[in-house]
Amino acid sequence: MPVCSPLSYGTNPPSSGNHYPIWAAYQTYARSIPRGFWVHSLEHGAVVISYNCPGGCADEVARAQAFIDALPADCGPMARRVIMTPDPDLDVRFAASAWGHTLRTNCFDRDAFSTFVTEHYDKAPESICGGGIDPTEMCGPSMCP
C-alpha cells in the first residue's frame, strides 16, 4: 500500500491486514501515528498499546509507560518491540494489538496487559528488531488522514 494511503481494518484496533511498506520504530509516540505503519510493526512481532482519552488520562499513560519500561529488552540493551501511541479512532480507552490478537479495555490494567504481552509478543510472521522509522517525521497532516 502506498505510504499514508487510507486503510481499513476488520477490528478496532487492527491486529493484522494491509499496511505500509515501512514500519514504525518501536517507541512511544506523543502524537497518533497512522495505523498502516504500526500494523507493519505487528507483523514483526511488536505489541502496540494504543489509547484514546479525550478528557485526558496522563496517570494511566504514565503507568503504561512504566509497564513498557519494565519489560525485558530483546532488541539490544534497552530496546523492546513495543509501541505506544494515542489513537483517535479507538472506541475504547486502552487497547493492545499483536499479530492476530487484540485486547480492549476501559482502563490501563497492568495485569491484563502483562498477560497479553506474555502470550502474544514476538509471535508473528516475521521477527525483526530494527529498521523502523518515526512516522511523525515522515508524514505531515497534509499527507496522512
Domain 35-128 class in CATH: alpha beta
Cis peptide before 145 (omega within 30 of 0): no
Burial (CB count within 10 angstroms: exposed 0-12, middle 13-18, buried 19+), residue 25: buried
Q: Is the pLDDT of residue 131 over 90?
A: no
Give the pLDDT mean for 2-19. 93
**Verdict on whether the full-model pTM lies above 0.85:** yes
Are 50 and 87 within 8 A, CB to CB? yes
Structure-block grid coordinates of residue 43: 507483523
Q: What is the pLDDT of residues 43-64, one digit of tens each?
A: 999 999 999 999 999 999 999 9
- 111: pLDDT confidence band, cut at 50, 70 and 90? very high
Q: What is the pLDDT of residues 77-103, one digit of tens each?
A: 778 999 999 999 999 999 999 999 999
What local confidence, expressed as pLDDT, does residue 139 receive? 62
Question: Hey, is 83 helix, strand or coil?
Answer: strand
Query: How is the chain split into domains, by residue range?
Result: 35-128
Burial (CB count within 10 angstroms: exposed 0-12, middle 13-18, buried 19+), residue 42: buried
> Which one, of 138, 135, 100, lies nearest residue 119 by Cα?
100
